[in-house]
A and B are shown apart, each in its own frame.
Chain A
C-alpha cells in the first residue's frame, strides 16, 4: 500500500464523522434538470440537505466548508465500464491507479470490466475485487461479472452466486456472444435473478478482421473495415432474444445510427432495453485516425461524422441512456505497432467529463442532459442509490468548472498507461473536488473555520 492510499484510508476514518458544507455552488441535478444557486450539506457520508438556504454561516462551527466559487456541484460520475487491471493486468493498470484517475476525472463509481486474468466469472474474483477496492480504491469499484465462463461465449457463469457476491452487471466486455442459443439461455437465466445483461452487439464474422470503420477511408488507408451492419445485425438479433426472454438488457457500446433505430423501436415497444455509447464515439470520428494513430483504434471502430452526429442527437433526446469511458489502458508494446497489429482500446477515465462537455460547449446537449447519461441514468439501470442530488443519497459529489480550458498532456495522466486519443487536444472542464461517501478523494478539501 502506497503512502497516498494509507493516508486516504486513515483520512476517511477521521473525516466520516464531521459534516461538510459546499457553499457558493451552481447545483445541477441531472435527474430533474434543475439548476439552483446555493449549497449542500453532507453528514455521515450522505446528502443531508441542499438548496439556497445552505449558505456560509448557516451551519455548526465544526462543519468543514468547501467554497465552490460558483462552480458546478453535481453528483459524481458513474462509469459503466472501465478496465482496472486487477487481477492479472497490473502492468496496464491497478485499482490504485485506475481509481486515482477516476477521482481526478470526477468519476466516483466505476464498474470494473470482467476481462481480467483470471476472468471475473467466479465469486472469489468478485470478492477479491471488492477487497482490493476497499483497501486501495479512492472511488467506488463495482465488479461486473462475465456472462460466459472465460468469456468464451459457451457456458453461462453463475449469475446467482456472482450477484450475491456483489456483481452489479453481467457482460462479456468487447467479446460479443456469437451463439444465439447461449445468449438466449443467458438472458432467460438472468431474468430469474433480475440480473442486468450488458452486451456488445457485433456480428463477429461480418466484422471479421476489420480494424476500422469500413468505407472510403479504410480503402484509402489499405486497412480492412468492419461495416456498420455488423452492429445492426447483432443488435437486431439481441432485441429479438430480449423479446423472447424479457431480461434486462443494455446494448453497449453502440456506434451507429442503425443501432439507434433498433433501440428506439424496442423502447417504444416497452422492452426492458437500454443502451450506452463511449465518449470516444461521441467526440471523435474515423478521420481522427489520420496517419494510422493506434490510440484511436477502438472497438467498435470510430465511424463517420454522420454517425457521430446521430449519436449526439440521441444523447440529447435521451434515446442513449449511458455515456461511459470504456477506459482500456494499453501499454506501449501493444500500441506501438502497425495499426492492424495494435490492440484495441483507449484510456478515458480522466477525460470523460471534459470530452463530454465538448457536446455542451458545442450547443448540442445541455449540461443536465449530458450529466444525466453519466449519473442518474446509469444509476437507474444499475439500480444504485448514488448519482442523484437527493436527501439521504450517498454523498458522491463533484465540483467542476465546466469552462476552464486546458490542453491535455498525456504524461500527467494518473492512469498507468497513456493511450489517450485526446493527447494535445484542447478541452474545457476541470474537476476541482471529488467526494466519495462524504470524503474528499481529489482536489480542494474542506476548511474548518473556528
Chain B
C-alpha cells in the first residue's frame, strides 16, 4: 500500500513542524516495516548504497541499536560513532565533528546530544539528512512516533483517547514530542507530576496539568510513565525517591484510577521501584516491550521517508 500523501521534509528534527498527514504517513510506512521485520527475510533494499551515521554524544542502548537495525534492514551501510571513542573527548566541537563526518559524504546522520537545539545546529551545517534522536530536553521525535504507533495498534485509534504523561515532564524530551504529536492526532493529553518537575507555561502547549495521580489518571486510556533521571532524584527537585514513589510511582493501586482497559507505557530505561512498580511494568496492561519492537519499525519508516527526499533518491 502506498499512501496518497507525501512526506516532504529534508530532516526530522522534531515533531513540531510536521503536519498531521506527514505524521500519519510515517505511521503507515511503519506498519509496513513491522510486517517486514516479522518475516524471516527482514531485508529491503530501499537504502542500498546509502550511508547512515549514528552520532551519539549521549549513551543510549535502545535508540542507537534500534537505528542501527533499522538502517541495516533497509540495506544501508551503518557506522556507529559514540563519544567515548571519538575526538569529541579531545575537545572537538559538535560542529567540527559534524563537518568532518559530512566530508565523508554520509546520506543520513542520526544525532543524539545533551543540549537542546544540537540537531538543528547540525542540520544547518551538513549536506545530508539529519534525524534527531534526542536533543536535551527539547524533542525525541522517533520516540513519539513509536509511542503513537504502539497506541494505534492496540487501541485502533488515537483520536479522543485520554493520555496521561506522568513524572519528570520538566526534563523530558519524550514528553514534549508526545504532547505535540498526540495532540495533533486528536488525543486529549494531560501531564501529571509534582510542580517542581513541571516546566513553566506547559499548559500553553494544550495539555491539562495535574499534581496527583488520582486526579490525573481518572478515565485515562493510556498511562505513559517518564523516566526520572538519577541525578535529579534527591534534594533539588524532589525530596527523595521513596517520597516520589509513594505519590507518583505507578503501582497497581494507582493504575486502578485509570480506565480498566488502560495500557501502560514507558520509554525506558526504567527505574523499577522509583517511577514504576515491577508488577505493573511486567503486567498484562504493559506495552513496554512492544514499544521497543515498534521503535525499529518507526525508525525504518523515518529513514525510508527521508531517503526518498535525498538527492538522487
Interface string of B87-121 (1 = CB under 8 A from A): 00000011100000000000000000101111011
Q: B135: which of A222, A224, A227, A337 is its contact (CB, 8 Å)?
A: A222
- Whether B115 contacts A338 by the Cβ 8 Å rule is yes
- Whether A227 contacts B200 by the Cβ 8 Å rule is yes
- Least Cβ distance of A240 to chain B in Å? 27
Q: Does A219 contact B (CB under 8 A)?
A: yes
Q: Does B137 contact A (CB under 8 A)?
A: yes
- Whether B200 contacts A339 by the Cβ 8 Å rule is no
Question: Which residue of chain A has the shortest Cβ distance to B138 in the bound complex?
Answer: A222
- Whether B93 contacts A337 by the Cβ 8 Å rule is yes
Interface string of A207-251 (1 = CB under 8 A from B): 000000011111111111101000000000000000000000000
- Whether A338 contacts B176 by the Cβ 8 Å rule is no
**Cβ–Cβ < 8 Å partners of B95 in chain A:** 336-337
- Whether A292 contacts B16 by the Cβ 8 Å rule is no
Q: Does B205 contact A (CB under 8 A)?
A: yes
Q: B176: which of A214, A222, A225, A227 is its contact (CB, 8 Å)?
A: A222
Q: Does B49 contact A (CB under 8 A)?
A: no
Cα–Cα distance between A222 and B120 once the two chains are bound (Å): 13
**Cβ–Cβ < 8 Å partners of A227 in chain B:** 200
**Cβ–Cβ < 8 Å partners of A164 in chain B:** none
- Whether A220 contacts B176 by the Cβ 8 Å rule is yes
- Least Cβ distance of B79 to chain A in Å? 22
Q: Does A411 contact B (CB under 8 A)?
A: no
Interface string of A248-260 (1 = CB under 8 A from B): 0000000000000
**Cβ–Cβ < 8 Å partners of A215 in chain B:** 200-201
Cα–Cα distance between A214 and B200 once the two chains are bound (Å): 7
Most chain B CB within 10 A, of A217, A219, A338, A341, is at A338
Cα–Cα distance between A217 and B16 once the two chains are bound (Å): 13
Chain B binding surface, main DSSP class: mixed
Cα–Cα distance between A225 and B200 once the two chains are bound (Å): 9
Q: Does A382 contact B (CB under 8 A)?
A: no
Cα–Cα distance between A386 and B44 once the two chains are bound (Å): 76
- Whether B205 contacts A338 by the Cβ 8 Å rule is no
Cα–Cα distance between A337 and B16 once the two chains are bound (Å): 22
Q: Does A291 contact B (CB under 8 A)?
A: yes
Q: Does A333 contact B (CB under 8 A)?
A: yes
Most chain A CB within 10 A, of B117, B138, B201, B205, is at B117
Interface string of A402-437 (1 = CB under 8 A from B): 000000000000000000000000000000000000
Cα–Cα distance between A219 and B138 once the two chains are bound (Å): 8
Cα–Cα distance between A292 and B121 once the two chains are bound (Å): 8
- Whether A340 contacts B200 by the Cβ 8 Å rule is no
Cα–Cα distance between A220 and B139 once the two chains are bound (Å): 9
How many A-B residue pairs have C-beta atoms within 8 angstroms? Tell me.
73
**Cβ–Cβ < 8 Å partners of A221 in chain B:** 116-117, 138
- Least Cβ distance of A213 to chain B in Å? 10
- Least Cβ distance of A268 to chain B in Å? 32
**Cβ–Cβ < 8 Å partners of B118 in chain A:** 338
Interface string of B222-266 (1 = CB under 8 A from A): 000000000000000000000000000000000000000000000
- Least Cβ distance of A231 to chain B in Å? 15
Q: Are A220 and B205 CB-contacts (below 8 A) given A227-B200, A338-B115, A341-B115?
A: yes
Question: Which residue of chain A has the shortest Cβ distance to B122 in the bound complex?
Answer: A338
**Cβ–Cβ < 8 Å partners of B2 in chain A:** none
Q: Does B75 contact A (CB under 8 A)?
A: no
- Least Cβ distance of B208 to chain A in Å? 15
**Cβ–Cβ < 8 Å partners of B116 in chain A:** 221-223, 292, 338-340
- Whether B200 contacts A338 by the Cβ 8 Å rule is no
- Least Cβ distance of A429 to chain B in Å? 30
Q: Does B283 contact A (CB under 8 A)?
A: no
**Cβ–Cβ < 8 Å partners of A337 in chain B:** 93-95, 115, 121
- Whether A219 contacts B115 by the Cβ 8 Å rule is no
**Cβ–Cβ < 8 Å partners of A222 in chain B:** 116-117, 135-139, 173, 176
Q: B117: which of A216, A224, A333, A339 is its contact (CB, 8 Å)?
A: A339
Cα–Cα distance between A369 and B161 once the two chains are bound (Å): 57
Q: Are A216 and B201 CB-contacts (below 8 A) given A222-B176, A339-B116, A339-B117?
A: yes
Q: B202: which of A219, A225, A336, A341 is its contact (CB, 8 Å)?
A: A219
- Least Cβ distance of B50 to chain A in Å? 26
**Cβ–Cβ < 8 Å partners of B201 in chain A:** 215-219
Question: Which residue of chain A has the shortest Cβ distance to B204 in the bound complex?
Answer: A216
Q: Are A216 and B200 CB-contacts (below 8 A) given A222-B138, A340-B116?
A: yes
Q: Are A340 and B136 CB-contacts (below 8 A) given A216-B204, A219-B201, A221-B116?
A: yes
Q: Does B313 contact A (CB under 8 A)?
A: no
Q: Does B199 contact A (CB under 8 A)?
A: yes
Cα–Cα distance between A293 and B199 once the two chains are bound (Å): 22
Q: B93: which of A225, A291, A336 is its contact (CB, 8 Å)?
A: A336
Interface string of A286-316 (1 = CB under 8 A from B): 0000011000000000000000000000000
Interface string of A333-358 (1 = CB under 8 A from B): 10011111100000000000000000
**Cβ–Cβ < 8 Å partners of B115 in chain A:** 337-341
**Cβ–Cβ < 8 Å partners of B204 in chain A:** 216, 219
Most chain B CB within 10 A, of A221, A225, A291, A336, is at A221
- Whether A219 contacts B117 by the Cβ 8 Å rule is no
Q: Which chain B residues in 175-228 approach chain A with CB under 8 Å? A: 176, 199-202, 204-205
Known: A221-B138, A336-B93. 20 other contacts (CB 8 A): A215-B200, A215-B201, A217-B201, A218-B200, A219-B201, A222-B116, A222-B117, A222-B136, A222-B173, A225-B200, A227-B200, A291-B117, A292-B121, A337-B94, A337-B95, A338-B115, A338-B135, A339-B116, A339-B117, A340-B115
6 CB < 8 A contacts A-B: A216-B200, A216-B205, A219-B199, A220-B16, A222-B173, A338-B116
Residues of B within 8 A of A (CB): 16, 93-95, 113, 115-118, 120-121, 135-139, 173, 176, 199-202, 204-205
State the 8 A-B residue pairs at the shortest beta-carbon distance, nearest first: A222-B138, A292-B117, A216-B201, A338-B115, A222-B116, A222-B137, A219-B199, A216-B204
